[in-house]
Structure 1
């Protein structure tokens, strides 16, 4: 019997996954899913509000800067098989004020493509108005925002609802990545 990491190694072959961030993202919530999704065979692209570099954080401390592959103005959900939204407080708060970013996120739901969002990332989903009737989790402080957007908030390590994968925090990354890879492998919902 193969272990899950061996099974996952080619499960995303031929898939292209977008990672949407801006300055202030939680670095481990980008780097861990990025590595696992690439190991599963997918092509990954880092999308940001502008070209250049974006600044990661380790909670409140500056982390590394990452080279952006494409700006939000130059991409379409049509170009990707799935979307990952890392958290961090500043990142989704800035993304939800950018109309191009909000429309990009909304398009994944319109096209019924899988989306994985962790920690504070569901703030962008609230703004995209895609949570009505869905069950999800997040960092606990987003509970009221999610409920006000029509979502059912639960306190669980990982939740999957019609292709939407959510988790609460970096401690949940193993379960988050595993479920995200499953949903990306299955495709449209």
Structure 2
């Protein structure tokens, strides 16, 4: 069912995002009628990767992250990729955008290494989530409960968090985002 009155923001760096975790949600959301903005932290062309080691396609962002506001979007989506997520987690603009999104009780979706960003934004505590398994201890140490699930939906702390583990979970992840918006 079309979701034509919703806006999604997908945030990445310009290097190291897992190709499928950027391209697949963006395509599925657009196919569902969602107005999707892909923003890179620099506004430059995004070089994606497969499995963190192989260069994949490039994607032209719609916008730089600078100046974007949570109030303009219905959901914020953070794809994975180790380099992408590790770089994004230290980005103060993204941290503020994520805090504003949660404060406005809007959903955030993160896959694979994407949940790392929640730690630095101060949003992991009290949430039940999943991620790429190597993040488990970091997320637990940040006060989250970690589950090995294809998809985890958590409503704790007054806002919805959707998380998945890896590209193999994209069908469930994408469907959950569309359901959340619908």
Q: Does 1:58 align with 2:55?
A: no
Runs of 4+ with deviation above 3 angstroms: none
Q: Choose which of 163, 166, 181 in structure 1 pairs with 2:163.
A: 166
Residue 13 of structure 1 is matched in structure 2 by 4
Return the TM-score normalized by structure 2. Answer: 0.94
Gap regions ≥5 residues in structure 2: none
Partner-residue secondary structure (3-state), 1:50: coil
Give 1:164 deviation, angstroms.
Answer: 0.8
Query: In the aligned structure 1, how far is the partner of 2:106 from the partner of 2:83?
Result: 25
What's the C-alpha RMSD, in Å, of the aligned pairs? Answer: 0.9
- Scaled by the length of structure 1, the TM-score of the pair is 0.90
- The residue aligned with 1:47 is 39
Aligned positions of 1:1-189 closer than 5 A: 7=1, 10=2, 12-22=3-13, 23-59=15-51, 60-162=53-155, 163-185=160-182
Distance 1:71 1:25 in 2: 15
Give me the whole-angstrom Cα distance separating, in 2, the residues matched to 1:58 and 1:182: 27
Q: How many residues align?
A: 176
User: Any idea what SS the aligned residue of 1:175 has?
Assistant: helix
Measured after TM superposition, the shift of residue 71 of structure 1 is 1.2
